Amino acid sequence: MKLGQMWKASMVLALAVSLVTACGTKDNTNQAAQPQGGAPADTASSGSKTIDDIKKRGKLVAGVKYDTKLFGLKDPASGNVEGFDIDMAKAIAKKVLGDENKLELKEVTSKTRIPMLQNGEIDIIIATMTINEERKQQVDFTDVYFKAGQSLLVKKGSPIQSINDLKKGTKVLTVKGSTSAQNIRAKAPDATVLEFENYQDAFTALKAGQGDALTTDNAILYGMTKQDPNYAVVGGTFTDEPYGMAVRKGDSGFLKVVNDMLKEMQSNGEYDKMYEKWIGEKPSK
């Protein structure tokens, strides 16, 4: 199936989004916001400590990936971080503070994101994170904002074409703290699984011949094929990976603000715009 079709098929998001503001998603100014002078005008308590803190400090601190093309990738030359998750962070900054640039990005990995949220280093996780029961014990998730599924990336011409080819002796690369690592152990128990700190390290290892395949969400793997067209996503998806943003447990005030924003973005077309910008085709309704 072609990339666009695959996205389409997997994208039946009941999600929503709408930048109340036409936020200039074309620019890549993802740098931390300049410290803003003065407190925002509205100093009344929001009922959410996180929102109060964001307003007091004048910026949202979002935990995002720096290793994931299309969702959150740092360009080492410019220092800019860009992707779908980054634009989502800008939209929240705009919603809460009226300015998408009142945003500080902090790098998280699959392994560090929940601890960093819990210890207060970040206000929210926006990092290709699958909603699941285990994680729901530790964080509160927003509504689904993207639907992915786990798949395989191989060098073009590889004999591995599906999960059934991951027999004894094959090496599969993935990332620590991801559902991808858990799932592949369960679904290909004979394969040897090697875990890396982040997706760029895993991809570098694949290219260096340290493994036969790399496994994670198709969304992330498609980003890698854009980085190196000698690699291809094969075999379709073998899990559902619905992405949610995550806030600290019990932070219902902040959760509601983000969920309301998602609904607005869906109804005013902003979500589709963001989707087209990063994924290339509009999700089917």
Report the nearest approach of ligand GLU to the CB of residue 173 (Å): 13
Work out whether 151 is an interface residue with ligand GLU (CB under 6 A).
no
Site for ligand GLU in 173-192 (CB under 6 A): 175, 178-180
Report the nearest approach of ligand GLU to the CB of residue 231 (Å): 17
E-strand ranges in 98-149 read 103-107, 124-125, 139-141, 146-148
User: Is 57 or 111 the residue whose CB approaches ligand GLU more closely?
Assistant: 111
Cβ atoms of 144 and 81 closer than 8 Å = no
Report the nearest approach of ligand GLU to the CB of residue 241 (Å): 4
Cα–Cα dist 176/69, whole Å: 18
Which tokens in the block code for residue 149?
Answer: 């599924």
Cβ atoms of 145 and 17 closer than 8 Å = yes
Work out whether 10 is an interface residue with ligand GLU (CB under 6 A).
no
Read off the DSSP letter of residue 69: T
User: Is 100 or 217 the residue whose CB approaches ligand GLU more closely?
Assistant: 217
Can you list the alpha helix ranges (DSSP code H) found in 106-166? 113-118, 133-136
Q: Please enumerate in sequence order all residues whose Cβ is within 8 A of that of 154, keeping only pairs 6 or more positions apart, or say none.
A: 160, 161, 212, 213, 214, 231, 232, 234
User: Is 128 or 259 the residue whose CB approaches ligand GLU more closely?
Assistant: 128
User: Is 18 or 72 the residue whose CB approaches ligand GLU more closely?
Assistant: 72
User: Is 25 or 110 the residue whose CB approaches ligand GLU more closely?
Assistant: 110
Site for ligand GLU in 186-245 (CB under 6 A): 216-217, 220, 241
Report the nearest approach of ligand GLU to the CB of residue 160 (Å): 20
H or E, element range at 4 = helix 3-10
Report the nearest approach of ligand GLU to the CB of residue 25 (Å): 22
The residue ranges that bind ligand GLU (CB under 6 A) are 110, 127-130, 175, 178-180, 216-217, 220, 241
